[in-house]
Structure formats: structure tokens, C-alpha cells
Structure 1
Amino acid sequence: MTMRNRLITTVTAACALAAALTACSAESGGTPARAASPTACPREAAPTAPPHGGGGGTAKGGAVPVAKTVKPTDTRTSTVVEATGPQIRCGRTGLSSHQDIVYAAPVTRGRKTELKLDLQVPEGAGAKPLVVYIPGGGFVLADRKANLAQRTYVAEQGYAVASITYRTSADGATYRDGVADVKSAVRFLRAHADQYGFDAAKVAVWGQSAGGYLAAMAGTTNGDRRFDIGDHLDRSSEVQAVVDEFGASDLARVADDFDAATRKTYNAPGSFINAYVFGPGSRRTVVGDPAARAASDPASHIDARTAPFILLQGDDDRIVSPSQSLILADALKAAGTDATRYVIKGAGHGDMAFLGDPDAGAPWSTRKVMDTITGFLDARLGGAR
């Protein structure tokens, strides 16, 4: 397969994956969003064009990097959550919405990219703690419009929630650029905290899938100035808490729990993982490069400044091996960092409805799971309400 075709394949796969993780409809202008009474936070329909990209399984109409099998995960040091009960509901709180805010304009391989964020801020007196949401997308897409329902729910609990775009391999970027972008967003938002009404001293990152990986990297590199590039360098990029939902950690082992065909696809030169580590066109692999493997692993960066974590992963995740969250949680605990791993029983990799199950994403939008996240934020950011 040519490099161009591989890129098209990966982009198509990530498009569907990002769409599958998207929730609700587009935000409504820049005015407060209200509802007469609480209403369910609906998920958007699953993508009609299935992803295409190798791996052990196939979706209806095309192949995706989805494993045929997944090993049972070790839960002895984790909290198992039965994701039952009511779904989240929106509309209890008025929110001010600010969209298309340019937070950075980095140059990648000679091309400038305007990076934007959308921001939701609860109405009411007092500066709100800030949560920076980092969307998934297979390291190829980063749709800041994604997952609106869950973002809105968190905002309605008393948090300013900023959803960001970051550079991906489609921009010719690597994970170093992605981490730098997250930190640029944190610095920008701190510089504009008074303008938008949030507390610059209380900042968390919350990511899903590829975004979970970048959130983990941001939280474990607190104080590492090598990733602070761009504007507002007089502001801190450190975060006070990390929410990592089904994110990768050791990129050489993302497919460890899967069947042999899926492992081969993930570890191949030019795979979506290797492209985001080494850049487009490289034939190097994380498995074959110990130095690159260590540099791209959040666990390698843990030190006394690392933020507290919660890690959430489904035990039926067939995109990122469930053992990925266990590896990182164990490393955090061994270093004395506060970390709790939650295993969501029966859950997959977010909303994978395009595989034929329209309720695949339901566990992740239950009150039980979302209140686990907001409870952690309340504890670590000093409370929002």
C-alpha cells in the first residue's frame, strides 16, 4: 500500500472513530443555553460511512482496527463499575458559550495551523474551576465539537469546560506537538481567566482515547519546559488533575490484549500510532526504538509534580487494550502519585455504535460514570458548587 493510501485509510478510520465519540448537536451561538426542564443529553447518530483500516475485525461495510478478541483485564487493584442506572441529563444550568477562539497558531513542517477552542462557562457569581477537554480521533483528527453532551453535563456541575483542537499526524505533527498544543491551551486560558470567568489556579485536563493519552502526557510532564512552546510563556501550563478515559500509555503495547492480527496492524511501520510518534513517511516503529518508546510513554515522565489521576476504561475495549490503563495506574502508584483506575464492566471504547450496537456508548454517559468524573474534579479542584 502506498503512503498516500495508508494516510487516506487512517484518516477514514479516525473520522468514523471521532464521529462515534461525538455527542449532541452543535452548540447554540454565544448565548446562555437553557432548558425549561432537565432533558436527556442525546448522542448523535453513528457515522454512516464505516472506518477502514486493517486490524482483526470488520465493521459493516469495511474493516477497522478493532480486535476480534480481548483478554480479560486484571481488576484486583481497580474499582469495577457496573454502568447501570440513569443517563445524564442536561438543561439544569444556564451556560455561556464562546466558540472558535484561536488559542495558538503553530507552524508544522512550514505550514501554520490555527488552533481553536470552544468554551462553556456556567452562569453565576464566582470564578469557576477549568476543565480542558481533549477529544479523541486516532491521532489523525481532533474535533473540538465532539462529545458535547458529556462536556455540557460537566459544565452544568459548575465547571468552565474548554474543548480544544490540537495538531495530529494529518497536520504532519507528532505527539510532541500535541502535548505542546495542550499546554499552549492551558497557558492561553490562564492568561484569559478573568475575561471568561474561571479560576486560573484550578485546572484539570480530561481526554478520551487519543485525547486521554495527551491528557496523561500533560499531567505527567508538569513543569517540563521542553513542551512549553509558543505564546504566554509567562503562564504556567501545569494542571491540578487528570481524567484519562480509555487512553493509550505505553505505545509499544497498545494492542497487547488483542489477537495476533490486530497486534501486527498496530505495530506495523506507518500505523496510526507509529505515524504520531515518528511523523509521516517514517518506517520506524515504537517497538523497535526503545528511546522513542520511553520518551512517548507518560509513565517515563512521572515525578513529584505529576498531577493526581483517574483512569477509566471498558473491559471490552477493542481499540486500546484495557491493560494500558493498568500499566499507567501501577506506575503512578509506584511513584507515590494518587491514581485510581476504574474498569467499566461491559463497556467498549466509547461510543462505537458504528459496529452495529446503537447502545454501545451508553455506559459512558450514565450518571454513575460521569459522577465518578465530577466527584474526582470536585475533590481535586476544591469543589465547583
Structure 2
Amino acid sequence: MKPTDTSTSTVINPDGPQIECGKTGVTAHQDITYSSPTVSGKKLDLKLDLQVPKTTGKKPLVVYITGGGFVMADKSANLGQRTYVAEQGYAVASIQYRTTTTGSTYKDGVADVKASIRYLRAHADEFGIDTSKVAVWGQSAGGYLAAMAGATNGTKQFDSGDNLDQSSDVQAVVDEFGAGDLAKVADDFDSETKATYMAPGSFINAYVFGPDSTKTVEADPAANKAADPATYLGPDSAPFILLQGDNDHIISPSQSLILLNALKAKGVEGTRYVVKGANHGDMSFLGDLKAGVPWSTQKVMGTITGFLDKKLGN
């Protein structure tokens, strides 16, 4: 694997203690239907779980977007990290979104993220949410969708469904080991791996063109550009932090560097953190429980909550 350039990034050595939960009470709301899009002629109820700390005042909102290779979106994932963020004073929602298993594409996934934000703004009084302070936090496929949501502030291109009187704009983006320029997502890997990623019907191409398409992002630069968060960056885009391991074997570490450079070119605030020695942090769905350990350290999670505190004023 190609080594990643860290000259414009901050390197984190993920040593030291793990995060701990249980210091602040949290109220959990389960299986809230936030949107019901039509899929294959039938309504699909998309649900979210919400954790709200038992403290006074309205809470800034963090919408967590799980990974899953664009194939699955298990909103119950990563409970420990989500609970930790909630205990720092945030209402944390974890959302289900459409994937290739429902014949859906990235356009649907971005629409779902935005629908969840609009729903929670519409029900802010019910859950004690401060509607002026909203962040998206995604990992892997969720990191990609978080980047798309934050880049497209100020546009209505991906807004559809209910609560359209509410804004889907966000004030901060936390993108952990997410994809960006999909045609280059395997550029740091060997030629065989890259060929697998770029093959017709791969998890990348299926989420851009649909599961039954034979098109590829390499052969269709216009489609790749339309699916790239960097394409939408502008004055209204939210500030970003990008976090990625320098030993990521699922998403090329150069993906976060490409997006960092695009943020700088468009005048959007962005900082890239490289976690030393860390692999892809969302590998539990593949049976690798150890890959997530560096990502749940106080150092890494403190970087995330510190950024949220700064941008959401918590």
C-alpha cells in the first residue's frame, strides 16, 4: 500500500486510555420513523435512534451515519462512541438509510440524511434540540454521506420527502475514513484490489449507477464528478474534519487528502487527522473487532468532540 502524505495533516498517535461512558444520564428514543420513501412501489419506513443527555437546556444535534459498504446501514452500530458523544452534551441520532440492497444509489442516501435532519429540526421541541446547531458525523460509507450532506449546504438538489419547510443545512462535518473521489478510492492499493473496486457492479459502482448497471465511475467521469463531495463545495459548505488511518486497507488514505485539498481550494475550512497505524475503523461488520480500538481512544474521540464543541458552541 502506498504511504500517505501527512505534510498538511495532523498525526494522532492513538495510544492511551479508551473512552468511558456512564457518567451522564441519557434518554434513549428507539425506532423513530423519520421518512417513508417509496422503494419498488412500496413505502419503506426509515428509522433512527436518538440519545439525549439528561441535562438542562436545548442540545446541539449530531446525526451519526453508520458505515456498511453501501450495502447495509445498521443504526444500532457503534453504540459506545455514540453514547460517549451524547454524554458530552449532544443529542445524537443514528440513522438507517437506503443502500444497494434496496436498489438505491448515493442520491437516495444523501436524501435520507437530509430528511433525517429536517425531521429532527421539525420535532426539535419534542426532543430538546437546538435547531441552529447541527452536525453530521459519519464513518466509512457514512463518512461519504456526511461529506455530501455538508458540502451541499444551501442547495435543494438532494432534498425530497417531508418537512421541506425545514433546512437540511449543517454547521459541522466529521468524516471518518470516508470515500470521496470514488474513481480513486482504491488508488493506494495493489492493481488486483483496484480492479475489484472498479469492476462493474462493485459496491462503489452499484451505489453510483444502481445494482444492475454495468457502468463504472472510471469510464464515466461526469457521473463520478456528480457523486464527489468536492464538486459541491462552496461558500455555504460546513467546516470539516477528516480522520483516517494511515493503514486503512478498505478506503485509500489518499481519499481524505484529496478532499482536504479540495476544501482548501474552495476556501472551506478543513483539517485532516491521520491516525498512526490505524486500519479502517468500521470493520466489525466484517468480523474484525480490533480495528475499531484506535478509534475509540480518548485522543481520537476527544479530537471529534473538541471540534464539535468549537463549531456548535456546546
| Band of TM-score, shorter chain | over 0.9
Equivalent residue in structure 1 for 2:6, among 65, 75, 78: 75
- Report deviation, 1:111: 2.8
Confirm or deny that 1:339 pairs with 2:273. Answer: no
What is aligned with 2:259? 328
Confirm or deny that 1:208 pairs with 2:139. Answer: yes
TM, length-normalised to structure 2? 0.98
Equivalent residue in structure 1 for 2:248, among 292, 317, 322: 317
What is aligned with 1:94? 25
What is aligned with 1:217? 148
* Contact map agreement 1:118 1:163 (CA 8 A) in 2: yes
**Distance between the aligned counterparts of 1:284 and 1:248, measured in 2?**
19
Equivalent residue in structure 2 for 1:267, among 185, 192, 198: 198
- Report deviation, 1:351: 4.7
Find runs of 4+ consecutive structure 1 residues off by over 4 angstroms. 353-358
What is aligned with 1:228? 159
TM, length-normalised to structure 1? 0.80
Confirm or deny that 1:253 pairs with 2:184. Answer: yes
- Matched position secondary structure for 2:184: coil
Distance 1:238 1:356, change over 3 A: closer
- Report deviation, 1:223: 1.6
Confirm or deny that 1:134 pairs with 2:65. Answer: yes
**Distance between the aligned counterparts of 1:162 and 1:363, measured in 2?**
23
Equivalent residue in structure 1 for 2:217, among 272, 275, 286: 286
Letter in 2 for 1:218: A
- Matched position secondary structure for 1:239: coil
**Distance between the aligned counterparts of 1:283 and 1:347, measured in 2?**
34
* Contact map agreement 1:351 1:362 (CA 8 A) in 2: no
Distance 1:357 1:290, change over 3 A: closer
Structure 1's unaligned 5+ residue stretches are 1-69
Confirm or deny that 1:103 pairs with 2:1. Answer: no
* Contact map agreement 2:15 2:294 (CA 8 A) in 1: yes
* Contact map agreement 2:139 2:282 (CA 8 A) in 1: no
**Aligned residue-pair number:** 314
Structure 2's unaligned 5+ residue stretches are none
* Contact map agreement 2:61 2:131 (CA 8 A) in 1: yes
CA RMSD of aligned residues (A): 1.2
* Contact map agreement 2:67 2:282 (CA 8 A) in 1: no
**Distance between the aligned counterparts of 1:224 and 1:138, measured in 2?**
26
